[in-house]
Structure 1
Amino acid sequence: MRFHFDPGSNRPKILIILHQENSSPGRVGLELVKRGFMLDIRKPRFGDSLPDTMEHHAGAVIFGGPMSANDPDGFVHKEIDWIKVPLAEEKPFLGICLGAQMMVKHLGGTVSGHRDELVEIGYYPLVPTEAGKALMDWPQKVYQWHREGFDLPNGADLLAGGPTYPNQAIRVGPAAYGIQFHPELTHQMMVRWTTKGAPRMELPGAQQRRDHFAGRFVYDPAVKRWLDRFLDLWIGTAEATTEFGRLKAAE
């Protein structure tokens, strides 16, 4: 799948931060485009800059990657520090897996592995909290691919947890969310991840490749419905965002 950014377009832009040469925003990117947004894709790992303000972006998403939020690489620290921009401006921000862990690190929280070295690679239960239930319905199981989790930093509300990694979805302020799981995953991405990442399926707690595809058949429709509801809550549509901006400018 290909995503294009037209710098001359007047449509609201979403800043998309990716971490590998061939990474894709997947279904999240496709759904944002369907909602009328342009995608401004940047990869700080390969030298791309990040904006000093969210003035020209309607929201931002930091996706996952094989690296850790604890790594010493300069781009990791740069992204963690940059998260202060959308948080300070209360602009919609979404961290997915590594992106969520980066937000937690920015807020002074801890990112670490499971005490028994268990991983979540495959489909695992998701249990919403009362705060999460008040926002929306949640899928029973979600797709995971991680060997580290995060604690609950000061100022964050826990929206959903799980039996192995207790913090799965958090909200910070009015518009920032972090999720440990991967609603962006397409079938093509699952094929690629389970092929290139096959050795990780031998780690303790990981599911076998056939179970990933069997799980997708059963659980993905509910994940797709959840993503649609979540995007309604988080960012809405480009048309609504533009109209809101006009009203704010007129105040």
Structure 2
Amino acid sequence: MKSALIVRHVPYEGCAGYRAPIEAAGYALDRIDVTDPAFATADLTAPDLLIVMGGPMGVYDTADHPWIPGEIAALARRLAADRPTLGICLGAQMVAAALGAAVYKGPACEIGFDAIDLTPGIASPLRHVAQVPVLHWHGDTFDLPHGTELLATTARYRQGFRRGSNLLALQFHAEMGEDERFTAWLDYLDCPMHRAGLVAAYRTHGPAAVRAGQAMIAEWLTGLGA
């Protein structure tokens, strides 16, 4: 089987709904946490597929998270080799940084379910999530890296880009919608009404978001190396 490695920045942000299409495409999934002492020397170029997940930290939080520069450097080596890579939220920001783009705080947090706007005239696997409310949970953004193609936006933020067929970076969370670990995300919200609204939206929109996200990832995986 082909190998796939998940880089996990926090225990409650795994590949969730994306696991099914990745395994259906013939990949044996493994994971490594950035807090694992072995992460410092892990070869992120070796796996056939690398999935870099989200987290509450920013790429600039190097004082509190000293593993960040090493991860960005390892990603840069993988991307230079054009190895298949999927970045989600913080993972997308890490990819942008590894490609030399600036990553920084945005004007406001974007938290909740909302649809994305696809870039007109560009065909991509993101067509599956068009007009489907998907989970957003971010306050950071990034400049579009040189040599990449912007795939989607919302009113505030860039939401997805790719480089060729082997790199896909997504700011939104179409993998989340049926994962019980979402309760840990809610701990970051101080407002009980906001939490209650998100729980209701998760139950309403989550399953459809996951189905759309799975179709998106399945299509992307079929085009790797094309």
Q: What is the TM-score with the length of structure 1 in the denominator? A: 0.77
Aligned to 2:148: 156
1:235 maps to amino acid: L
CA–CA distance in structure 2, aligned partners of residues 157 and 192 of structure 1: 33
SS of 1:24's partner is coil
Aligned to 2:211: 225
Q: CA RMSD in A?
A: 2.5
CA–CA distance in structure 2, aligned partners of residues 52 and 17 of structure 1: 9
CA–CA distance in structure 1, aligned partners of residues 49 and 118 of structure 2: 25
Alpha-carbon shift at residue 177 of structure 1 (Å)? 1.0
Structure 2, unmatched stretches of 5+, are none
Q: How does 1:27-38 map to 2 (within 5 A)?
A: 27-38=17-28
Evaluate the alpha carbon distance shift between residue 61 and residue 132 of structure 1 in structure 2; reply closer, same or farther with a 3 A threshold.
farther
Alpha-carbon shift at residue 131 of structure 1 (Å)? 4.8
Computing the radius of gyration from Cα coordinates, the structure with the larger value is: 1
Aligned to 2:45: 53
Contact 1:139 1:223 in 2 (8 A): no
Evaluate the alpha carbon distance shift between residue 187 and residue 23 of structure 1 in structure 2; reply closer, same or farther with a 3 A threshold.
closer
Candidates 179, 194, 197, aligned match of 1:208: 194
CA–CA distance in structure 2, aligned partners of residues 21 and 191 of structure 1: 12
Alpha-carbon shift at residue 30 of structure 1 (Å)? 4.0
Alpha-carbon shift at residue 78 of structure 1 (Å)? 0.9
Deviations 1:97-151 (A, max 9, x none): 1110011111221112223xx1011112310012544543324221011111112
Identity %: 28
1:50 maps to amino acid: A
Deviates more, 1:57-66 or 1:125-134: 125-134
CA–CA distance in structure 1, aligned partners of residues 121 and 82 of structure 2: 20
Q: What is the TM-score with the length of structure 2 in the denominator? A: 0.84
Contact 1:132 1:160 in 2 (8 A): no
Contact 1:44 1:50 in 2 (8 A): no
Find out whether 1:69 has 2:69 as its counterpart: no
Aligned to 2:33: 43
1:181 maps to amino acid: F
Give 4+ residue runs of structure 1 displaced > 4 Å after superposition: 131-135
Q: How does 1:92-241 map to 2 (within 5 A)?
A: 92-115=84-107, 118-135=108-125, 136-140=127-131, 141-165=133-157, 167-185=158-176, 186-194=178-186, 196-199=187-190, 208-236=194-222
1:42 maps to amino acid: I
2:154 maps to amino acid: G
SS of 1:144's partner is strand
CA–CA distance in structure 1, aligned partners of residues 44 and 128 of structure 2: 35
1:79 maps to amino acid: E
Aligned to 1:4: none
CA–CA distance in structure 1, aligned partners of residues 92 and 179 of structure 2: 23
2:14 maps to amino acid: S
SS of 1:45's partner is coil
SS of 2:51's partner is strand
Q: How does 1:7-26 map to 2 (within 5 A)?
A: 11-21=1-11, 23-26=13-16
Structure 1, unmatched stretches of 5+, are 1-10, 245-251
Alpha-carbon shift at residue 65 of structure 1 (Å)? 0.8
